[in-house]
A and B are shown apart, each in its own frame.
Chain A
Amino acid sequence: DAGVIQSPRHEVTEMGQEVTLRCKPISGHNSLFWYRQTMMRGLELLIYFNNNVPIDDSGMPEDRFSAKMPNASFSTLKIQPSEPRDSAVYFCASRTGINQPQHFGDGTRLSIL
């Protein structure tokens, strides 16, 4: 089975530009998570969805960040406008149910110049 698929793998853009990260969860998984990983802070949960509905977005840094899940097989994380401090690796993860572990994609490495 295909794992969690993220695109793009790498993104380099200038400060102020809009950035859109994409995620396709594992088929049949009903929960989806967005994380950010930095050297200083490690892995931090930004937002998660159950059955396409956002449940907790308390980890989203500020209003410049937004996430959507229009259907069970696709989610986006958008940053507008982007800032250099947003540079990090962004991971998407999914799972089948409440007592099941999360499975991660290989991430998007984002650099804001």
Chain B
Amino acid sequence: QKEVEQDPGPLSVPEGAIVSLNCTYSNSAFQYFMWYRQYSRKGPELLMYTYSSGNKEDGRFTAQVDKSSKYISLFIRDSQPSDSATYLCAMSPTGGGNKLTFGTGTQLKVEL
């Protein structure tokens, strides 16, 4: 079993929908949690960076961490076609991650 599990999708939603992306993990030592967005043929781009449990909001994006359930989520409100990309969760026991463990990514398509 992988340390980080992520549904690969693809997930297709209409423009304006609320999108929920999720990861589960097994290593209770993980303290730092990140979401990266990766467009086709580009490198991962950091979206959200959180420490321990709780919520963090940045514009249309909200990251949620539930350490008791070993479950993290990324919510995208008012989704746009430009949000179409692959979303990768990543986590680490230390900040910034000497060793980030990534999920395999969820492919999202937001349709007009």
Chain B contact residues: helix, strand, loop or mixed: loop
Q: Are A104 and B43 in contact (CB under 8 A)?
A: yes
Q: Are B43 and A101 in contact (CB under 8 A)?
A: no
A43 CB–B CB distance under 8 Å: yes
Chain B positions within 8 Å of A48 at CB level: 98-99
Chain B positions within 8 Å of A106 at CB level: 41-43
A-B CB contacts (within 8 Å), total count: 57
Q: Which of A11-19, A74-82, A91-99 contacts B (4 or more CB under 8 A)?
A: A91-99
B94 CB–A CB distance under 8 Å: yes
Q: Which of B54-62, B63-71, B73-81, B102-110 contacts A (4 or more CB under 8 A)?
A: B102-110
B21 CB–A CB distance under 8 Å: no
Q: Are A97 and B96 in contact (CB under 8 A)?
A: yes
* A residues whose Cβ falls under 8 Å from a Cβ of B: 4, 31, 41-43, 45, 48, 55-56, 91, 93, 95, 97-107, 109
* B residues whose Cβ falls under 8 Å from a Cβ of A: 34, 36, 41-46, 49, 88, 90, 94-100, 102-105
